[in-house]
Amino acid sequence: MNTINVNLDRFYAASIKEHLAELKEQLQELEHILAQGPLSAIEYRALERNLQLLVEACIGLAKRVLKGQGCTPPSEARKAFEKLAAKGLDNGTIEWTKVIGMRNAIVHDYLDIDAARITTVLKNRDYLKLFEFASQYL
């Protein structure tokens, strides 16, 4: 994947790279555990939390990229990705509405989450698309 030249603070970039590397390692470990059988309740909660943090990292990165381009980042996450796309800084391969909806469900609707859907994100390795998104800016 090509790197898009954006004006990111080098300390932020280094910090987010480290954070993403930790998340990726933990998600890959959970993927390995899932291949052996169902996740325990604690492992499933770790999956939810890691996916939440991954989405939030992408949201934060999108807003930082916009700010680095001289734009005022919107407060609403979905609009940040719309603005990135409008500026030609996101290729639109990720359905951000669904991704942000998943994050919102994990955070706010935790009593009504479809655990099978969350587990499918891990099983199908859909989470890797978010790492690809982030890597184009880092």
C-alpha pair distances (Å), 98 with each of 24, 55, 102, 103, 108: 20, 11, 6, 9, 15
pTM, two decimal places: 0.92
pLDDT at position 10 is 84
- Pick out the chain residues at pLDDT < 50: 1
User: What is the CA 126 to chain-centroid distance, rounded?
Assistant: 10
pLDDT at position 13 is 87
pLDDT at position 5 is 58
Tell me the domains of the chain and their CATH numbers. 12-135 (1.20.120.580)
Q: Which residue type occupies 137?
A: Y
pLDDT at position 1 is 47
